A and B are shown apart, each in its own frame.
Chain A
C-alpha cells in the first residue's frame, strides 16, 4: 500500500520542473556540469542503497557502471547518435552483466559478496587496459551527443537521473520493497513462505545494474572521454560514502550525500594530496560524528528550530518534543 504525501510529490515535481527549465534555458557551463555530475552520483548512491535494502553491499557497481560507459563509447564512436536508444542499450547491457555476475555470486552473502564485487570491479578495469579495441590504457575519446542536442543534454541527463531515483523510491515502497527488507532481516523466514530469496536478490541486483548502467552512459556523454582509471573500486566506494554520509534511512539521504560530496570533491580538486585528506576526513567525521548522516543532522536542526519557535510563542513542551528516531 502506498501512503502518498501530496505536498511532497508537488514539491518534488515543482523542483524537478524548475531544474529542467533552468538547465534547458542555461548555456552549458561548469555549473550545469556540476548538476549533471551530482545527478549521476545520486543514481550511483541510490543504486547502492537499493542493494543495501537486501542486506548486501554492491561493490561490483564500478564494473557495471564502467561497462555501460564503454558500451556507450563504442556505440557513439561507431556512429549511433540516437541518445535515448544508446542510453537504453547501455543500461540493458549493464543489466545483462549484472544478471551474470549476480547469478554466480549472489549464492554468497555479506563480506564474501562485497569482496568478490570489489575484485570484479578491479579485474574488469584491468581487462580494459588489455583490449586495444577500447583504447587500452588510453581509453576512448570523442563521445559527443549530436550538436542539435548539445544545449539540452544537461536537462536530458538530469531528467533521466531523476526518473531513475524516483524508480528506486517507487520500488522500495512497493510490495517488492517489503520483500527486500524481509530478506535483509531473515532470508530463511522469507523462503518458508515459498519465495525464492535468491530470485528476489537477483531481480533487485539487476534493477540496480540497469539504473547504474544508464548513469554510466550519461557519464560517458558528460565527460566525452573515458579511460580504465575512471572505473576503479573508488566508484562503488564513493557511492557507498554518498549513501552513508547523506543518511541511509531515506533515499533523499543518498541524493543529499551525492550533492554534498560532489561539491566537496570539486572544491578540494586541484589541492593534490590534500584532496584525498579532505575527502577521507569528511567521510571519517560523518561516520564518527553523525551516524544517521546529513539527513539526521538536518532533522535535528529542524527539530531545534521548531522547539525554539514554539518556546517563543509559549506552546507547552510536549507539543514540541520530537526526538529523532
Chain B
C-alpha cells in the first residue's frame, strides 16, 4: 500500500526529473525565438538527432573500445552534440539567415526541414526503436518513493546546464549581447554589438540545448526517428505557458507541464495529461494572453 506521503514525493520526483528535460528543450526554443524571431519546428529534429546518435554510439563505443556504459554515454553525447551543432550551423547559414524576424517564412522553412530531416533519419537509422543501457544502475529511496539513479543523474546534468545558461545570460558579456539583440536588434547594433554573429551564436546555443536534452533523454526513453515530435508539442505548450522569449517562463512552463503529466498520468493516463495541458493553456490565454512571465505583444 502506497502511503500519501510516498505518493506525493514520488510525483514530485517524477515532475522534477521529466520537467528538467522539458525545461532544457523549451529553453532552446524560447532562446531561438527571442533572439531571431524564428519559431523553429526543426528544433525537435535536433533533439532527435542527439538522441538517435547517442543511442547508436553508446553500444558502438562499448564494443569498439570496451568502455563502461557511463563513459561511452559521455563520449557519445559529446560526439552527438558536435554533430547537431554542425547541422545547426549549416541550417542557419543556408536557411534561417535569410528569414530572420519573418515568423511565417521561417516557420515554413523549418517545417520543410522537419520533414526533410525526419525522412533522412528514417532512411539512415531505420524505424526500429532503440534503447540505451542503464548508465547508472540502482535506485534511490526517499520517504518511501523510488527514483532510478540514472534519472537522478539526468536531472542533475539538466539542472547544471540550466543554471550555467542562466548565469551566462545574466552575467557575461555574450549573455548581455544576446539579451540586447533579443530586446532590440537595431539598438544593440548601435551599441557596437555584432548582431549577425550574436544571432548565429544564439541559434547555436539554442540548438545545443536541444541536442543536450536529446542526449539526456536517450537513456530514459525509447528512441525513434519521431521522438522529437512529442517533445516539440510539449515544448510549444511550455513556452506558451511561460511566455515566448522568457527564460524564467520556460523553466516555469516546463515544470508546470511535467507536474500535469505526472499527476494526470498517474491518476488517468498520458493522453489525458496532454489534453489537460491544452486545457490549462486555453484557460491561461483567457486570463493572461502573454503567458505567465511573458510580455504583451504589441
Task: Write the residues of chain A forming the contact surface with B, with a CB cutoff of 8 angstroms.
Answer: 52, 57, 104-105, 107-112, 114-116, 118-120, 122-123, 126-127, 129-130, 233, 237, 240-241, 244, 272-284, 287-288, 291
Q: How far is the CA of A116 from the CA of B39 in the complex (A)?
A: 13
Is the pair B114, A280 in contact by a Cβ cutoff of 8 Å?
A: yes
Decide yes or no: A119 and B103 within 8 Å by CB, A107-B289, A126-B271, A280-B119 being known contacts. Answer: no
- When the two chains form their complex, are residues A280 and B117 in contact, meaning their CB atoms are under 8 A apart? yes
Question: Quick one: which of A104, A108, A112, A244 contacts B108, CB cutoff 8 A?
Answer: A244
In the assembly, what is the distance between CA of A106 and CA of B123, in Å? Answer: 40
**Contact, CB under 8 Å: A287 / B116:** no
B11 at the interface (CB under 8 A from A): no
A-B pairs, 7 with minimum CB distance: A276-B119, A280-B116, A280-B115, A283-B112, A273-B122, A277-B119, A123-B278
Which of these, A116, A126, A244, A282, contacts B240 with CB under 8 Å? Answer: A116
Q: Quick check: is B56 within 8 A (CB to CB) of the other chain?
A: no
Interface residue from B105, B114, B120, B286 paired with A287 (Cβ < 8 Å): B105
Which of B33, B98, B116, B278 contacts A111 (CB under 8 A)? B33
Residues of B within 8 A of A110 (CB): 103, 297
Contacts of A279 in B (CB 8 A): 115, 119
Residues of B within 8 A of A (CB): 33, 39, 41, 94-95, 98-99, 103-105, 107-109, 111-123, 233, 236-237, 239-240, 244, 271-272, 274-275, 277-278, 281-282, 285-286, 289-291, 297
**Cross-chain pairs A/B with CB under 8 angstroms, 20 sampled:** A105-B282, A105-B285, A108-B289, A108-B297, A109-B297, A112-B297, A123-B277, A129-B271, A237-B111, A240-B104, A241-B111, A244-B104, A272-B122, A274-B119, A279-B115, A279-B119, A280-B111, A281-B112, A283-B112, A287-B105
Known: A111-B244, A119-B237, A284-B95. A104 touches B282 (CB 8 A): yes
- Inter-chain CA distance A57–B111, complex, in Å, is 14
Given contacts A273-B119, A275-B119, A283-B115, contact A116 B109 (CB under 8 A): no
Min CB gap B113→A, angstroms: 6
Q: Which of A107, A114, A115, A282: most chain B CB closer than 10 A?
A: A115
Q: Is there an interface contact between A114 and B278, defined as CB atoms closer than 8 Å?
A: no
Partner among A112, A126, A273, A288 whose Cβ is within 8 Å of the Cβ of B275 = A126
Contacts of B98 in A (CB 8 A): 288
With both chains docked as a complex, state the minimum distance between the C-beta of A197 and any C-beta of chain B, in angstroms.
Answer: 13
CB neighbours of A282 from chain B (8 A):
112
**Additional pairs, 15, CB under 8 Å, beyond known A123-B274, A233-B233, A288-B95:** A104-B285, A107-B285, A107-B286, A110-B103, A111-B103, A112-B285, A116-B285, A119-B233, A120-B278, A122-B274, A130-B271, A279-B115, A280-B119, A281-B116, A283-B111
The smallest C-beta distance from A67 to any residue of chain B, in angstroms, reads 15
The answer to whether A127 touches B109, judged by C-beta atoms less than 8 angstroms apart, is no
Q: Which residue of A lies closest to B103 (CB)?
A: A111
Q: Which residues of A contact B274 (CB under 8 A)?
A: 122-123, 126
**Least Cβ distance of B180 to chain A in Å?**
21
Q: Give chain A residues whose Cβ lies under 8 Å from the Cβ of B116.
A: 276-277, 280-281, 283-284
Contact B112–A280 (Cβ < 8 Å): yes
Chain B residues whose CB sits within 8 angstroms of the CB of A278 once the complex forms: 119
- For the complex, give the distance between the alpha carbons of A288 and B289 in Å: 34
B107 x A114 contact (CB < 8 A): yes
Given A112-B244, A274-B119, also A288-B271 (CB < 8 A)? no
Residue of B nearest to A243 (CB): B108
The answer to whether A288 touches B94 (Cβ under 8 A) is: yes
Residues B233 and A118 in contact, CB atoms below 8 Å apart: yes
Contact A112 B240, beta carbon cutoff 8 Å: yes
Asked if B113 and A284 sit within 8 Å, CB to CB, the answer is yes
Bound together, the chains give a CA A284 to CA B98 distance in angstroms of: 12
List residues of chain A with CB within 8 A of the CB of B105.
Answer: 244, 287, 291
**B108, chain A: closest CB distance, angstroms:** 5
Tell me which residues across on chain B come within 8 A of A241, comparing CB atoms.
108, 111-112
Tell me, in angstroms, the Cα distance from A126 to B291 when the chains sit together: 24
Closest B-chain residue to A284, C-beta based?
B112
CB neighbours of B107 from chain A (8 A): 57, 114, 240
How many Å lie between the Cα of A37 and that of B110 in the bound state? 25
Which residue of chain B has its CB nearest to the CB of A232? B229
Question: A277–B123 contact, CB under 8 A?
Answer: yes
Interface centre among A105, A107, A110, A111 (most CB of B within 10 A): A111
Question: Closest A-chain residue to B239, C-beta based?
Answer: A115
Complex CA gap A233/B120 in Å reads 20
Q: In the assembly, what is the distance between CA of A233 and CA of B236, in Å?
A: 13
| Complex contacts, A127 vs chain B, CB 8 Å | 275
A233–B244 Cα distance when bound, in Å, is: 20
- B244 / chain A contacts, CB cutoff of 8 Å: 111-112, 115
Minimum CB–CB distance from B9 to chain A (whole Å) comes to 29
A186 to chain B, nearest CB (A): 11
A108: which B residues are within 8 A, CB to CB? Answer: 285, 289-290, 297
| Minimal Cβ-Cβ distance residue in A for B117 | A280
Known contacts: A129-B271, A130-B272. The answer to whether A115 contacts B111 by CB under 8 A is: no
